[in-house]
Every structure is written in structure tokens, then in C-alpha cells.
Amino acid sequence: MAAALYRVVPHPYNASPIAAMALFGGYTLRPRWVSALLPLAAMLVSDILLQLISHNGFYGADQFYVYGSFMLINIIGMQMRRTGALNIGFMSIAGSLLFFFITNFATWLNQLGMYPHTIAGLTACFIAGLPFLTGTLMGDLFFNGIFYAIYVSVPGLKVNRTVAVKA
């Protein structure tokens, strides 16, 4: 709920805890569907709240790509668990870049008339999205850093990842 509410209050563009929830949840939570469901549920709750407050909560075809990006970031977290590698900084940046490329490609693809469907149009779309990438990178690094710091410093929080969440 805190992540959903964070998206509703004023904050820097694209700097939200949702991608960090997806990445770190993929690494730490079991069963897998729980780690995938939590960031999507936070997105849905916040999108509903944003729709009620400002009528900007639902944004057409691009929304599928946003939610899908978080699912892919969650899979990155699951892969970190399988390999035993917890390089949270590198994976956080990888998740941010994945989100940037997928969602900007979707904007180029779906926003008819906004960018021509050419390489030059796609390039222009990516360039226009660069200011949002900064917020994404900073937010993801910040929230993943907080999640990681809590994870390694709170005694008893590191539980057997095969039974971290019982459903």
C-alpha cells in the first residue's frame, strides 16, 4: 500500500518503488506468483487512485507495456536468486534500462502522430524520454538500496527463500 500511495503523492517523474519491488521481490519472495503479483497490485491500486483523483490513472495500450516491464524486472530478480548473485546496483540499472526501452518503444509504437514510425521517429522518442530515465534510475537505485539495506541489516529477515511467503 505504501508503494501505491507513493505514486499518488507528488514525487520526481518515474521515481517510484514499483520496479524495486519487482526486482527485489523476485529475489526474495516465494512463491513466485506472490513476487510478481505485489508490484502489479501496487500499480493497479495506484492507477485506480490516480484515475479517481486526476483522471490520469489509465493510459491506454501503453499500460500493458508498463505492467509487462515490471513482470520482466521481476524475472530478473528471480534469475538473481537462481544464480546466487546479488549485485543489486547492476540489476537495478538493468531493470531501469529495460523499463525505459520497453515503455519508450511502446510510446513510439502506440502514440499515432506523436512520432513517425521510422528509425528517426524512434530515436526522437528515446531522446525525448531521457529526462524520465534519470528519475527511473535514481528512484530504482534509491529504493533498491533501501530494500537491500533492510534485508541485510534486520536480524531474522533473511528467511529461507523457499518458504518466505506462505500462500
| Burial class of residue 154 (count of CB atoms within 10 Å of its CB; 0-12, 13-18, 19+) | exposed
Residue 92 CB: number of other CB atoms within 10 A? 27
Alpha helices (runs of H) in the chain, residue ranges in sequence order: 2-8, 18-28, 32-54, 62-83, 88-110, 119-153
Q: Which grid coordinates are listed for 73?
A: 524486472
pLDDT, tens digit, 9 for 90 and up, residues 85-129? 668 889 999 999 999 999 999 999 998 888 999 999 999 999 999
pLDDT of residue 112: 80
- In the chain (167 residues long), the average pLDDT of successive 10-residue segments reads 89 91 92 93 95 89 94 93 77 96 95 90 96 95 92 72 40
Question: Going by C-beta distance under 8 Å and a sequence separation of 6 or more, which residues neighbour residue 159?
Answer: none
Q: Where do the domains of the chain lie?
A: 2-153
Question: Could you tell me the pTM of the whole model?
Answer: 0.88
Rounded to whole angstroms, the Cα distance separating 26 from 64 reads 20
pLDDT of residue 84: 66
